[in-house]
Structure 1
Amino acid sequence: MSRSHQQKVYIPKDVRSNQYITAEIKVTDALLAHYPDYKTCYQTLSRIIFNLAEQEELYNLHVITNDKLPVVRFHTEAYCFPTAEQIIFFYNPEYHEAQTLHSQDDYRARKIRVVLLATGEDIRANSANFHIKVQSFLAKLMPQLPEKDLAIKIRDHQHLSYDLFAKAKGNKESYGYKLRSISDRYGARSCPIPELHGSLCYVTVKLPLSSKLKQSLLPKEYTNDFSPLYQKLEDAFIQATSAKQLKRVAMVANGLTPLVRNSKYDLVDGTDEVQMLGFDPNVEEQQYTRHWDGSHLVEMVSFTIAAGEKDCKDGGLGRYLNRVEDALKSLTSELALDKSREELIVRFHQHISYQTPEQLVS
């Protein structure tokens, strides 16, 4: 197989592409001093944000002032589900628009988080244009903030999601992606990204624990100890990923939502709803974390496989995702799965983050 062919990954044509950008503004005493109360601060700033966003043709955005974490997923209908710690947005980029303030009047937020969801068609192909629009929006927003020294943290989130078992269901058509890092793609489209930025690429897969799967992995006689189930899955996962030299992996089976961060820059403490996973893409040693409790049966197990710094250079992301797919196919071949009826959704995530540079606010 040629090197050029290895750099491509063939993904089902019905792949779904998502992109959203968050802009985080720290709430300081100096900022709040300009308003009589929290409610007035949040409502005043949200009106400014919504008006400026519409000028930049940004039609789906949310302002979060209760410190809840945004989670974005595709759906044919638009939904917003708040939990104690998260706000889960479901939407279809082709149809859905929104301007919503998610607030708690008597609560002092640590940060004001603006969530801008990409809209239209060909989300991945137009990702740089969307980022440029957001940069222009922020350049206009910052002079209108009452405090001029506030920095803004930008996080650009993109992912492709598709069924690993698509071919078994008769979906034979695929498209060859030559994956590149966000900074390389944006550089080719005249979208400025500061040299000092953080980036992370990883794949997540959620494996539902069906009755058939549990029966095949658990001993015939067992009490309330599900350790044999989790241990078999863990052993199979480690074996499959190690065979493909995938060193940054995690297994989560404790009912929490995995959240991946670059451990070189971000703290990785967990919460009541979120299991933080930290990987350093620059470290070549094995990085494996597991979070499961044999006394607690969960509905699904989450697997995470992060890319290294070398995987993201010189067309390496295609080779990385091919290795991930090979590892997942090896893992699932050991399980009692009906590939013609069951889904295993692969989500390929690309993140980039940076502090707002001075040239954007001049």
Structure 2
Amino acid sequence: MASMTLNRVYIPTNARNNQYILAEFKPTEQFYNCFDDLQSCYERLARQLFAQCDEYELHNVHLIANDKLPIVRFHEESYCLQTQKQMLFFYNPKYHEAHKSYWDENVKARKISLLFLATGSDIRANAANFHIKVKRTLEALLETNQSIGANALRVRDHQHLTYDIFAKSKGNKESYGYKLRSLYPRYQARNCTLPDTHSEMTYATFSLPVTRALKTEYQHLLKHDDYSQFYKTIEDAFLSSCAEKQLSLCAFVADGRLPLVRNSKIDKNAANIELQKLSFDIESDQVQNASIWESDKLVDTMNFVIVAHTSHKKDMGYGRFMSNVESVIRAFADRLHINPNKQDVNIRFFQHISYQY
């Protein structure tokens, strides 16, 4: 019984589950030459996609042909907001459904993305079935539109589990013990076959707003146009908390960009005006810490990332890893004198698996 408890993490019952699958391909000139113009290209592809989605009961799907990165988050109201580099989708899986397309009829997209959002309840329990439906849709789409080309699709399955680490302090006493098994064996057990050649990433993120209370606590470090001592203090507190739990793949990002976590064997570190790509070698025993901030810029929100090493992948799951992550965040919050009764610290547990279709 003690062993079972050690391999579970107890998460509040009001935690939110999200899942989405992103299928992407890079259209060639041969692909575009199959259509009279860009508008007819995108419109026909959308009709073909949504027809297959109706067939396989996929109720919230988007075609994106504007070279922007989809970001998916939970919200009680449905929104789609665009920035220069991102498509931000906010939705509640229980209620929101849509089939929509986004493109510029004057621009050939370098990449076309098909975004499938999970709907209904029990998202985590039904994750494999959702993936099966998406695979069948993609198979049918490739048969209908052979100009996409064989082995052209890159499929990424993203699952998030989000909760306030201080939920119990605010009166939410009920919790459920999760083993957090990795995606590949979970899907195998539910007859969802994935290629042997695939890539998995598991990690946790959380963010802290730079509140008035935090500024007051560290006002002696906040000098006009020089916030380096403030950031170094936050960085030291975070990395020290990680080191105490032998978590060696970590990042602190406080330059206004959104961190994106990638496997270094597939993607390298990169950045644009909105996004910061962080690449980790999850098989290396070397400490990999990233700290990204600007001494003359005080941000509104600081972002933190803790990535699971290959050694954290246990048969029982990632429960022990997440228990250690929680311990890190609690110790870090305590060092910063964050009041758990008044402030939410939302932790997001990510599981990603990707493969070439």
Pairwise TM-score range, normalised by the shorter structure: over 0.9
Where in structure 2 are the equivalents of 1:1-362 lying within 5 Å? 2-147=2-147, 149-150=149-150, 151-219=152-220, 222-356=223-357
Matched position secondary structure for 1:147? helix
Equivalences, count: 356
CA distance in 2, matches of 1:232, 1:290: 12
Deviation for aligned residue 1:78: 0.2
- Report the CA distance between 1:223 and its aligned residue: 2.5
Could you tell me which amino acid in structure 2 is paired with residue 106 of structure 1?
N
Q: CA RMSD in A?
A: 1.2
Distance in 2 (alpha carbons) for counterparts of 1:337 and 1:245: 23
CA shift for structure 1 position 266: 1.4
Hey, what's the Cα distance between the residues in 1 that align with 2:112 and 2:85?
A: 15
CA distance in 1, matches of 2:73, 2:317: 26
Deviation at 1:148, TM superposition (A): 5.9
Aligned partners of 2:45, 2:295: CA distance in 1, in Å? 47
Greater shift, 184-193 or 310-319, is seen at: 310-319
**Match for 2:85: what amino acid?**
E
Rounded to whole Å, the distance in 2 between the matches of 1:189 and 1:201 is 20
* Cα separation, partners in 2 of 1:145 and 1:214, compared to 1, 3 Å: same
Partner residue, 1:360: none
Deviations 1:62-90 (A, max 9, x none): 00000100000001110011000000000
Equivalent position amino acid for 1:199 in 2: E
Q: CA deviation at 1:224?
A: 2.4
Cα distance change on mapping 1:333 and 1:53 into 2, 3 Å = same
Structure 1 runs, 4 residues or longer, greater than 6 Å off: none
Judge conservation of contact 2:31–2:148 (CA < 8 Å) in 1.
no
Deviation for aligned residue 1:312: 1.6
Structure 2 residue identity aligned to 1:290: S
Shift of 1:220: 6.8
Give deviations 1:182-223, integer Å, cap 9, x for gaps: 001001101001110001000010111101101212317733
The residue identity in structure 2 corresponding to 1:66 is N
- In structure 2, what residue type is equivalent to 1:62? H
Q: In the alignment, residue 175 of structure 1 is paired with which amino acid?
A: Y
> What amino acid is aligned across from residue 145 of structure 2 in structure 1?
L
Q: Is the 8 A contact 1:244 1:327 kept in 2?
A: yes
Task: Say if 1:47 and 1:2 are closer, same or farther in 2 by CA, change over 3 A.
Answer: same
Q: What amino acid sits opposite 2:133 in the alignment?
A: K
The DSSP-based 3-state class of the residue aligned with 1:219 is helix
TM-score by length of 1: 0.96
Q: Structure 2, unaligned stretches of length 5 or more?
A: none
The code of the aligned residue for 1:251 comes to F
C-alpha deviation, 1:274, in angstroms = 0.3
How far residue 337 of structure 1 moved from its aligned partner, in angstroms, is 1.7
Q: Alpha-carbon deviation of 1:316?
A: 4.5
* Superposed displacement of residue 133, structure 1: 0.4
CA distance, structure 1, for counterparts of residue 119 and residue 127 of structure 2: 10
Alpha-carbon contact 1:34-1:146 (below 8 Å) kept:
no
User: Which stretch shifts more, 79-88 or 30-39?
Assistant: 30-39
1:239/1:221 CA distance change after superposition, 3 Å: closer
How far the C-alpha of 1:26 sits from its partner, in A, is 1.6
Q: SS of the counterpart of 2:225?
A: coil
Any idea what SS the aligned residue of 1:276 has?
Answer: strand
Deviations 1:40-83 (A, max 9, x none): 11111011101111100000010000010000000111001100
Distance 2:17 2:301 in 1: 23
1:300 CA drift (Å): 0.8
2:349 and 2:180 mapped to 1: Cα distance? 11
CA distance in 1, matches of 2:312, 2:95: 35
